[in-house]
Structure 1
Amino acid sequence: MRFPANLWVSKLPSWSLRIEESSRLGKWVQVLSIYREMQRYGVQPSDPSLFSPILKACLTLSSTYYGKSMHSSFIKQGYDSFASIGNSIVDFYMKCGDLNSALAAFHRMQNTDSVSWNIIIYGHLNRGDAEESLWWFNKARAASFTPNTSTLLLLIQACRNAGAYRKGIEIHGYVIRSGLSAIASIQNSLLTMYVYIDTGSARKLFDEMSDKDVISWSVMIEGYLQSEEPDFALELFREMVSENGIQPDGITAASVLKACARLEGIDMGKLVHGVVIKRGEYDDLFIGNSLINMYSKCNAVGSAFQVYREMSRKNNVSWNSMLFGFVFNEKFSEALSLFNLMVEKGVEVDEVTIVNFLHICKHFVLASACKSVHCLIIRREYELNDLVINSLIDAYAKCNLVDLAWKLFYGLRSRDVVAWSTMIAGFAHCGKPDEAVRVFCEMSKTQEKPTVITIMNLLEACSISAELGRSKWAHGVAIRRDMAADVAVATAIVDMYAKCGAIDTSRRVFNQMQQKNVVSWSAMVAAYGMNGLSKEALALLPEMKSQGLKPNAVTALSALSACSHGGLIKEGLAFLKSMVHEYGIVPESEHYSCVIDMLGRAGKVDIAMDLIKQIPGDLKIGASAWGALLSACRSHGNSELGAGALSHILDLEPMNSAGYLLGSSMYAAEGSWDDATTMRRLVKERGVRVCAGYSLVHVGNRASRFVAGDCSNSRAQEINITVERLHSCMTIDERILLGATEC
């Protein structure tokens, strides 16, 4: 149907005005609707200023059909010879992803300018084809094209994305020769490229820059972070603020907070927090999340929670950062409460949330919760996420569901070194060292190379088995893998030999360590203590101090434990008093528990009770302290005091069988059979799981585990004979000791 010519001619001004107005307001559907109306009248836009908004409407609404129609109109009207219109067409096809049409339109153009080449170069870059964009740059230069600042910025970005650093250096040379090296944007772009290549080269360029803005400083600070040099990042930030007086922006603040988190530099973190508040950026979501992360990793989870609570806006990262903060600082009750709140508020649970929640499950041994999380992982199709699956394997093992952990591990299509290490640690945790060693041997047949963590898990498994031959084999593995010199591995070897009873070998390994830290010394103190060499354990403390190392809370606990097992009451009490004055260690509840155990073993039950009363009010008296007192009351016949201790234990750990069994044993020793029976009945009524105690005895070259009255072990007869011989030797030694005392 044809319309009268005078009709569409009269409507042309109206169409043009409506298209201009609609495009100005961003009403692209309306722009396209007006264009379709023009087509129904058989009219094509004749005003070149209308082409760009119509093409933009086609692009925004993904209407390639009408875009191609416009292109046909340009050709028919001879407008394709205009560089600006040709550029619009090429840009349209590039952004639509139609590379062939874009290149065809580009080659058809009679006049190309810098915009034309920029469109082609940027289009390839946007497609992720950085190499192709560099090829087009060379082609442009061969065509005598002189790149402008925009082109150079795009090319430098292309070199960085493609890792084409040699080409990037060539472009840097071109920039210098062209006299464009003083342009701040180009300098910053080159600096960003160099921090990915070499921090030293980036710093050289940075120092040569005469005019550094906040972007320059931020790029260099982030560069140091990427190269794992956070100390240099903080030093540069100090120089930026104090010497140059440049105020950091949000990006700088986030980078510095990241550096503070890695170095646990809370003082600098607080300073940045103050700058953020002063600049009024405390409501910035990204900075708020960075502050939560910084405070959490600086062990200031209270401050992290305060930032979290004061945030007016929170996203999924905010919730996960706070959840991680509680888990990282071992505030698992708070973490569980926050997770429940997340579910209540309908916050999306993602992979990060699941990993953190599995840590909570491990701590509280929530076996059923692990299974529920496993179902969620399957529904969300997270099985291909290595971190999630490895965390689930670890959680199953730590919740004593090692068979499920093994089934999950065995069903993996591919296993990385973390999965292997986690499975070895899982078997070791569940008291299955043979299976742990078997998994390591199976891993050795694959292409995966063990890490320090893998070797340490293997050493832990060998220490549980307490077999000296196997432990020596594991030591040999560490040597062959060039890991025995690592301070953490060497410390684990010291501990392993000590648990095998080879204290001389343990000390020899300790002496051969090229580097020793507080953990190493603490392990050696504990090694002497567990082998009954209490005085040697205490003698290590002044030796450690002479080496410039200060004992920490763990060292002190090992020393007190040595005093407890060696019966060194006087020395143990003296050490407890000297902890603050001599070593600057504030006693914690674990230290007091150890001393109470020491006094209880010596029969000084009343003194132990007095010590409990003297424990500072801000310290929570744990079940271990009351358990030590109850054990002493059972051994030395003080059921009156023991009943009070038992009451505290059952309140603190109602699902732990140890308290019930100790109480029953205490009442039975005094002939209070009704009370003893009550304790046993409570175990059944409350569904408390009773874990039988076991002992290890060496039969031949193997350490065998046995429980009193258990005949299920294949070597039960050999074990019983060995135990009888040990008992006979102990009886003879006791008679000799008594005879010497009487003399």
Structure 2
Amino acid sequence: MYKIWLESATVEPTIGAFKLDMRVPSGTNLCNWHLKLKELSTNGKWVELLCHYHQVNKAGLHPTHYSDFPPILKACSNLLSYSYGKSIHGCLIKTGCDSYTSIANSTMDFYIKTRDPDSASAVFNSMRWRDQVSWNIMVYGSLDLGNLEQGLWWFNKARVSVCGFQPNTSTLVLVIQACRWLRAAIYEGLKVHGYVIRGGFCYISSVQNSLLSLYAEDDDMESAHKLFDEMSERDVISWSVMIGGCVHCGEAQNGMKMFRKMVCELGIEPDGVTAVSVLKGCTSLRDLTMGTSLHGLVIYRGLDSDLFVGNSLIDMYAKCGDADSAFKVFEELPQRNRVSWNSMLSAFVHNERYMDALSLFYSMGKEGINADEVTLVNILQTCKHLHLGHSKSVHCVTIRWRFESNELLLNSLIDAYAKCNSIELAWKLFERMKKRDVVSWSTMIAGFTQCGRPDQAIAIFGEMTRLQAQDDQKPNEITLINLFEACSVSAELKWAKGAHGIAIRRALSTADQVAIGTAIVDMYSKCGAIGESRKVFDQISEKNIVSWSAMIAAYGMNGLAHEALALVEEMKLYGAKPNAVTTLSMLSACSHGGLVEEGLSLFNSLVQVYGIEPRLEHYACVVDMLGRAGKLHMAMDFINNIPEGLKVTGENAAWSALLSACRSYSNSDVGAVAASHVLELEPESSTGYLLASSIYAAGGLWVDAASIRRMVKEKEVKVVAGYSLVYVDNKACRFVAGDIDCHSLAAGEMHSIVELLHACMKTEKRNAGNFDIID
């Protein structure tokens, strides 16, 4: 910054390391002074201008003409020399020159640019005569300093106080931007639009583009389209605003059409802002082809060096499932900021490449880029799929960098601990939180449910509802859906009906009603109350494809395969087209209902009839169906025929289904093959080890069974026990091998349960004739 010492004549003024010659030139007079001042002002030589003024004062020639002072004040504004400008203001007051309107305007402008709006307001209030420049300075100055509400107040006052007030273009643009930034002032924006039309400003492109942005950011695309159609000249900014507005309002397809018209028909060259908007549209539509084409255009136009464009390309490729291309863009960025690293980290997480995400996180530290809360939230999405130690490490970083006040990060930590089956750590963190929002409570409810402790999840919900009056926290639809899931896991029909009652008592929007209704359908089906599921399903006024799929799945999991397939035909009558999830529910229904031929026919017609390319889940479901029917070799052949492209994404679900079927049919030959694949694909899951051990033990291969058990201990695989659920007196009782909780039951209850089990086994024996009862 320039340092100017002009207050004392005994000190030579300096600028940086240069000393200025302060000797008074011979022959200096007021006429020469005025011409010199005008020349220096025209050329923008502000330092020389102030020094020249000091020379004249030192020579005893004091300028008194009012036109000499505005350039001096302008020099003080440009050099941000507040103290010197204030001293000149004092001189103006002493000489009486401050009464001139032009000088007062220059003084106000000086105070505005040196960020002293109070002094500018004082000068304005002391003026005898104010012109349009005076009002423009106060309006523009307030808005430029960020005082938006005050700026709009000055603008409205100017319109009332000055007959025929004419704001300059820059002031009018700032007024419209203030209405845009103050979302509550959209009505004020409409009034400004009317003023623009009446004042004849509607043909100025910068004003029109500002109005377009006002409507687009307020999601009023109807008004934006009307204004856009009325524009006689549209530049790249106009098109970019409209494309971005369409994408932001969920009309990405229309945005893409506008972009094609802009480039192909009109030949307008897109800029970086256009590219970012179009890339967001491609991301929204998951249109990788369009995104790749735009990437080529970005390179051709030389926009690939734009950091915002580069980050948008990473996000587009990530959301479209092409993490490799995203990483290539990341590597080729000429410069990267923290957003670039976070975008790439999110890309790996989104595409389930968790080890690559961890590796990138470590590289980030080596590059000297400090992680922020967004980074840690992203890495926690990775940690919850890996070892608990990673989550603990992130927790340590959170404490060390003092991010404990970030609620999003703490909620992500709770979720990560719960997903790693460390619900105790999640609960401790939850209890220590100074402030809990509805997300914290919902995450904790979901955590207990995921860890097989639905009773505590429901208790947490009860505590939340008791405290909501105090903390002003009300359960939202996500909280209720988590509650329904807890009731599903508990399989307590009484609790399920209670949760249903809570949903009824809450006023929910139509969209929420569909989501909540679908969750209730699923909850009742998992409690075995298929009749209640159908009643709730019929009460959903606006069913979507998710609702239909949930009801089809409900029939399937309760063994009503024919009803599930009949519902598909009913769905078609309502004009709903089955998607990949629906067809998966249909295959699952065939699997549980033993409809092998129908299931194979459905799978073979996925592409021709439904236009759905089979995914790995569809193949795994068919394998499960064949396995349940005892067609083990056929199931293994089916797995071997899975396309290689799908095998890359993981085929463990198919092999696990076959391994489970091998245990049911005591087939150790096929089971050995399936076990080798499952243990290779899921070395940290206990399911494969336990199934393989059971198959070997059932076949008398005790050495192999012991070997599998030894591997479990050596690899420290955490064994998750299964359980049996039996209803006694309308109460669900859970039994786990080796669990001592059943001993806490009263003797009468235990006797009733044993009698009920024996009765069930005797019935099965009469029906099938192949059960041995062990007393």
**Which TM-score band applies after superposition, normalised by the shorter structure?**
0.7 to 0.9
**One-letter amino acid of the counterpart of residue 406, structure 2:** N
**One-letter amino acid of the counterpart of residue 429, structure 2:** L
Q: 1:494 aligns with which of 491, 516, 521?
A: 521
Task: Quote the residue 2:173 is aligned against.
Answer: 153
SS at match of 1:349: coil
SS at match of 1:487: helix
Superposition TM-score, scaled by structure 1 size: 0.85
Q: 1:111 to 1:540 in 2, by over 3 A?
A: closer
The reply on whether 1:209 has 2:236 as its aligned counterpart is no
Task: Quote the residue 1:404 is aligned against.
Answer: 425
Structure 1 CA distance for aligned equivalents of residues 396 and 204 of structure 2:
56
Structure 2 CA distance for aligned equivalents of residues 385 and 35 of structure 1:
56
Structure 2 CA distance for aligned equivalents of residues 177 and 635 of structure 1:
83
The reply on whether 1:435 has 2:456 as its aligned counterpart is yes
**Cα distance, 1:484 vs structure 2:** 9.5
Q: 1:297 aligns with which of 287, 301, 319?
A: 319
Task: Quote the residue 1:374 is aligned against.
Answer: 395
Task: Quote the residue 1:615 is aligned against.
Answer: 642
Task: Quote the residue 2:551 is aligned against.
Answer: 524
Q: Is the 8 A contact 2:423 2:451 kept in 1?
A: yes
Structure 1 CA distance for aligned equivalents of residues 130 and 434 of structure 2:
53
Task: Quote the residue 2:137 is aligned against.
Answer: 119
The reply on whether 1:395 has 2:416 as its aligned counterpart is yes
Q: Is the 8 A contact 1:563 1:598 kept in 2?
A: yes
Q: Is the 8 A contact 1:230 1:262 kept in 2?
A: yes
Q: 1:354 to 1:243 in 2, by over 3 A?
A: same
Task: Quote the residue 1:469 is aligned against.
Answer: 494
Structure 2 CA distance for aligned equivalents of residues 32 and 422 of structure 1:
66
1:245-304 CA distances to partner (integer Å, 9 max, x unpaired)? 544333233223323333434555455445434433232222222233334334444444
Q: 1:668 to 1:24 in 2, by over 3 A?
A: farther
- Written as runs of structure 1 = structure 2, the 5 A alignment for 1:91-490 is 91-107=109-125, 113-140=131-158, 142=161, 146-162=166-182, 163-195=184-216, 198-238=220-260, 240-241=262-263, 245-266=267-288, 268-270=290-292, 272-364=294-386, 366-445=387-466, 446=468, 447-483=472-508, 486-490=513-517
**Cα distance, 1:361 vs structure 2:** 1.5
- Written as runs of structure 1 = structure 2, the 5 A alignment for 1:583-662 is 583-620=610-647, 622-662=651-691
Q: 1:598 to 1:181 in 2, by over 3 A?
A: closer
Superposition TM-score, scaled by structure 2 size: 0.82
The reply on whether 1:677 has 2:695 as its aligned counterpart is no
Q: 1:708 to 1:175 in 2, by over 3 A?
A: closer
Q: 1:330 to 1:686 in 2, by over 3 A?
A: closer
**Cα distance, 1:694 vs structure 2:** 1.1
Structure 1 CA distance for aligned equivalents of residues 302 and 477 of structure 2:
45
Q: Is the 8 A contact 1:667 1:675 kept in 2?
A: yes
**Cα distance, 1:533 vs structure 2:** 2.7
Q: Is the 8 A contact 1:634 1:642 kept in 2?
A: yes
SS at match of 1:210: coil
**Cα distance, 1:174 vs structure 2:** 4.0
1:397-436 CA distances to partner (integer Å, 9 max, x unpaired)? 2222323333333444443333332222222212222222
**One-letter amino acid of the counterpart of residue 685, structure 1:** E
1:353-373 CA distances to partner (integer Å, 9 max, x unpaired)? 222111112222x32222322
Q: Is the 8 A contact 2:449 2:489 kept in 1?
A: yes
Q: Please give the root-mean-square deviation of Cα atoms over the aligned residues, in Å.
A: 4.2
1:684-706 CA distances to partner (integer Å, 9 max, x unpaired)? 22212122211111122321211
Q: Is the 8 A contact 2:247 2:281 kept in 1?
A: yes
1:449-494 CA distances to partner (integer Å, 9 max, x unpaired)? 4333222111111111111121122222222324496333222222
Q: Is the 8 A contact 1:51 1:85 kept in 2?
A: no
Q: 1:600 to 1:268 in 2, by over 3 A?
A: closer
Q: Runs of 5+ in structure 1 lacking a partner? A: none
Q: Which moved more, 1:17-26 or 1:355-364?
A: 17-26
Q: 1:226 to 1:282 in 2, by over 3 A?
A: same
Q: Is the 8 A contact 2:22 2:55 kept in 1?
A: no
**One-letter amino acid of the counterpart of residue 254, structure 1:** V
**Cα distance, 1:495 vs structure 2:** 1.5
1:594-622 CA distances to partner (integer Å, 9 max, x unpaired)? 44444444444433333343333333263
Q: Is the 8 A contact 2:76 2:82 kept in 1?
A: no
Q: Is the 8 A contact 1:19 1:31 kept in 2?
A: no
The reply on whether 1:712 has 2:741 as its aligned counterpart is yes
SS at match of 1:705: strand
Q: Is the 8 A contact 1:484 1:490 kept in 2?
A: no
1:609-642 CA distances to partner (integer Å, 9 max, x unpaired)? 3334333333326333333444444454444543
1:334-364 CA distances to partner (integer Å, 9 max, x unpaired)? 4333333323323331222222111112222
Q: Is the 8 A contact 2:74 2:110 kept in 1?
A: no
**Cα distance, 1:499 vs structure 2:** 1.0
1:540-582 CA distances to partner (integer Å, 9 max, x unpaired)? 4444455544444433443443444444444444444444444
Structure 2 CA distance for aligned equivalents of residues 19 and 335 of structure 1:
63
**Cα distance, 1:672 vs structure 2:** 3.5
Q: 1:97 to 1:379 in 2, by over 3 A?
A: farther
Q: 1:109 to 1:555 in 2, by over 3 A?
A: closer
The reply on whether 1:737 has 2:759 as its aligned counterpart is no
Task: Quote the residue 1:504 is aligned against.
Answer: 531
Q: Runs of 5+ in structure 2 lacking a partner? A: 1-7, 13-20
Q: Which moved more, 1:279-288 or 1:150-159?
A: 150-159
Q: 1:411 to 1:605 in 2, by over 3 A?
A: same
SS at match of 1:335: helix
Structure 1 CA distance for aligned equivalents of residues 9 and 393 of structure 2:
69
